[in-house]
Structures are given as structure tokens and as C-alpha cells.
Structure 1
Amino acid sequence: MREIVGAHNLNRQVSEALREAIHTGELRPGELYSVSRLAERMGVSRTPVREALLGLVDTGLVRVERNRGFRVVRRDPRHIAEVFHLRLLLEVPATRLAARHPAPDLLDALRGELAEMRRAADDRDEARFMRHDRAFHDLILASGGNALLTSTVAGLRDTITTVGASTVDQTRSLTDIAAEHAPILDALAAGDETAAASAMRHHVAHTGELLLAQAAAENDAPVSPADTALIREGPHQATILPI
């Protein structure tokens, strides 16, 4: 866990460090941690650590165990499956629609975001990478002119990010993730609706299945066939939604 340097925005620094440690798996799901132990590791007093942990309780990342400490909550595989099922229902047809008449400025913007993702991957800067990853998806969604669609998918992504679920450096690298976006862009540039929808479906479903497997492992249980089916049996033909 990274040590806190300086007192500027101390509470925020501590909260971000704890969230990052949960996100990367340094603070393991199911494990119990004391405020004093975490404060010592970060080189700060107990007060900002306690306040940050109480804030994370509200997000569902940790829970309080009276007179014992804070336990990192195990992620719920079913919740992950349901989120990615919804993402597939929304993003796959939106990508097919975007490929129908891809505007040159959309393609230029997507190329820029993918280039930035690759640079961030080379720098191993996950936070910067994820900003451009999100922007790539948002551009495709927004191209249909439906702001509610874009914000809905953003909310679905946030529910996964909030609970600290990530595949980065656990089952794939940032470079691997960037590579999954290239076929989406290529198909959009070619105006190939079927290939674009298929590439988006592969990317989103692959992410969902990896996170599902990680969550199941955290819970010391096999992946539920029903949860896997919810992701795998998403929209294969990608019917166009009215956007």
C-alpha cells in the first residue's frame, strides 16, 4: 500500500489509497483489517484512516465488525453478471448503429482515445488508461444521440468500479485490454455493422466473464453456470434499439 506523502487533502489521499489497495487486491476480500494496522502501513494517524473506511462502508467496499475492525466485502458474482448482461443489451446494438454511418470526426476521436490508451498502458498508468477507455465507449454510445443511453451505461460501469472490481494485472494487462478495442475501431471504420457489434460483444463479455471468475474465486466457489449464461447468452444478433 502506498505511503501517504504530505498533509494536503489527507482524507482524500487516504481514501484513494485504500480504494486502490482494494481494487488491486492488496487488501483482500474477506480479510479483516484494523485501523491502527492500516494507519501504520500508510504512515498516518488513525483518524483519517477511520474516516476513510467509514466512507467506504457507504459504497459497499468494506463493512464494520464491532470491536474488531473493517472487513473487505467479497464481490457478488451475480451482481457482476447482471451488470454485464445489461451492458451487452445496450452497447452491442449501439455499436452496430454507430457502424452504419460512422462520421469521420467520430473515427478520429476514437483513434485518439485508443492511442492514449496505448500510451497509458506503456506507462502502466491505470487511472489514465481507464479515463480513455471510458471515453472510447462513451463516444460510440453518444454517436446515436441518446444521452440517457450514455449515462445509463456510465452508471453500470460505475457500479463495477465502485466495488473495486478490475481485471488489470490479475487476468490481463492494460495492453491486452487496449488490444480488444482495436477490432471495434477497425470494424467501425470499415462500416461493418456485424463485425463492430461482434467485436464489442466479445470485449464486454470477456471482461464480464473474467470478473465473474475472480469474484467466484474470492468467494471460494465455482462460477455459477447461470451467471455465465447470463453473459454468454447476451445479444448475439444485436437487434437495433430505438436510439
Structure 2
Amino acid sequence: MVAIAAQERLRDKVAHALRAALISGELRPGCVYSAPALAADFGISATPVREAMLDLAREGLVEPIRNRGFLITEVSERDLDQFTEIRALIEIPTVGRVARTATRQQLEALRPVAEEIVDAARAHDLIGYLEADRRFHLALLSLAGNDHLVTFVGDLRKRSRLYGLTRLDERGELLPSAEEHLELLELALAGDAAGAEACMGRHLGKVRSLWAQARDEPVEPSRRPRLGAL
């Protein structure tokens, strides 16, 4: 049992490192990476890398390619525009409804997560930033009481995951976006449904614009990421 638990922890560590490599741009969309090659970079066997890649495949981040490895999936600009439009159609009115109906206790419970997003942005913790951002948005939407809506938006977020977050962080553009979560929370607490809807609209539009800027910046091509040992 101890050996199995240790193997699962290693698999989770590899998956975490691979997600970070996706966010930073080390693992490039459209490129294929083999588990043995990645394992050599990590200094471990190929098995936990392959298992971690299968976890990422279930999240839609990579696609297994028979006898070659794993393809980093691409999201087109058209896809991103459509995903953002759908999210806006769902999230903007839902946030307005939450501002009108949620209790102060329910909303205040989200403050630690909103602050966690800001702290992660300040600490340049990109994985932490995205995870806290996901939890905040889905928890806020859940206050509307529609579980299927939350699941659907969660799936959209996975499909529209974006690359180049490191470059946005380096330019100092993540922190203002992070602070909008606190602004949104305060508007909801004040019962300002129109203000909350406007803030959500600005937030979704800004995030889409920032990601587009990151995608447009050239990145030196590399066949293999420079992953450190675990």
C-alpha cells in the first residue's frame, strides 16, 4: 500500500509539473512529446509520466498519438472567441442573479479564495492562480443553485485553457485581473446586480484580450521542454 501511495504521489507531481510547463509555454500546442523523453528530463521512469499524461488527456489538455506520444492540443482563436461568448451569455446574468439572491454569509465565504487569487498573482504562482481562479468562479456560479450550469462552465474553462501565462505575469498584467475578483465580490455583497454584471463582462473581455496578446508573441521553438528533476 505504501508503494502504491508513493507512486500516486509521483504521478500527481509529474502532472503538476506538466501543467506548469503547458502554462509557461515549454510544452507547445501542436507538438508531440513522448513519455520516455519527458521521463529522461525528470530523471524518472516513463510509467508515472505516461500515467500523468493520461490524466491530462482526460482533462482535454493532450491527445494520445499511437506509437508517438502525446500531442499538446491546440485551441483556435475562433474557438476561444466562441467559448468566451458562451461564458459571457451564461456567467454575466448568473452573477447578477447571485448578487440579488445570495446571502452575505455565502458571499463572504468566497473572500479567502478571491484573496488567494491576488496572493498567487503577487507571488507569480501561476498554477495556484489558475486553480484559485477556477474555484472562485465556479463557487460564485454555484450560488445560483444550478449544478448543471456549474459543470458546463467548468467544462468550457477546460476547453478554453490558454497558453503564455508566464509572459503576462512578467509584464505585470495578471495582478489587475486578479484584483477584479475582489471588486466583483464587493459589488455582489452590495447587492449591485448591474455593477456585478458589468464587472464580469469587463473581466471576461480583459482576460480574453490578455491571452490573445500572449499567443501573438513569438516563442523560440524547442523540440523538448527543459524540465527539471522532480
Task: Settle same-fold status: TM greater than 0.5.
Answer: yes
Deviation at 1:65, TM superposition (A): 7.5
How far residue 198 of structure 1 moved from its aligned partner, in angstroms, is: 0.7
The residue aligned with 1:229 is none
Determine the structure 1 residue equivalent to 2:175. 175
Does the Cα contact within 8 Å between 1:53 and 1:70 map onto a contact in 2?
A: yes
CA deviation after TM superposition for structure 1 residue 217, in Å: 6.0
Counterpart contact for 2:126–2:166, Cα < 8 Å: no
Letter in 1 for 2:7: H
Matched residue, 1:20: 20
Which residue in the other structure is 2:147 paired with? 147
Q: Which amino acid aligns with 1:8?
A: Q
Checking the alignment, whether the CA contact within 8 Å between 2:120 and 2:128 is kept in structure 1 is yes
Residue type of the alignment partner of 1:28: R
Identity %: 33
The TM-score with structure 1 as length reference comes to 0.70
Once the 2 structures are TM-superposed, how far is the Cα of residue 110 of structure 1 from its aligned partner?
2.9
In the alignment, which residue of structure 2 is the partner of 1:237?
A: none
The residue matched to 2:44 in structure 1 has which SS?
coil
Whole-angstrom distance in 1 between the partners of 2:49 and 2:205:
36
CA RMSD in angstroms comes to 3.1
**Aligned-residue offset at 1:18:** 2.4
Structure 2 distance, partners of 1:69, 1:107, is: 44
- 1:130 corresponds in structure 2 to 130
Deviations 1:39-76 (A, max 9, x none): 2211113444345446655635245375x655433332
Rounded Cα–Cα distance in structure 2 between residues aligned with 1:50 and 1:102: 44
Say whether the 8 Å CA contact 2:20–2:127 is kept in structure 1.
Answer: no
| Residue pair 1:114, 1:136 contacting (<8 A) in 2 also | yes
Query: Within 2, Cα distance between the matches of 1:144 and 1:57?
Result: 30
What's the TM-score once normalised by structure 2's chain length? 0.73
Shift of 1:15: 3.4
Matched residue SS, 2:65:
strand
1:116 is the counterpart of 2:103: no
Displacement of 1:32 in angstroms is 4.6
Separation (CA, whole Å) in 2 of partners of 1:84 and 1:142: 19
Residues 91, 38 of structure 1: CA spacing in aligned structure 2 closer, same or farther, 3 A cutoff?
A: same
Secondary structure in structure 2 of the residue aligned to 1:140: helix
- In 2: Cα distance, 1:96 partner to 1:106 partner: 15
Q: Which amino acid aligns with 1:25?
A: G
1:89 correspondence with 2:89: yes
Deviations 1:78-103 (A, max 9, x none): 22222111110011001122223552
Mark the runs of 5 or more structure 2 residues left unpaired by the alignment.
1-5, 219-230
- Which consecutive unaligned segments of at least 5 residues does structure 1 have? 1-6, 219-243
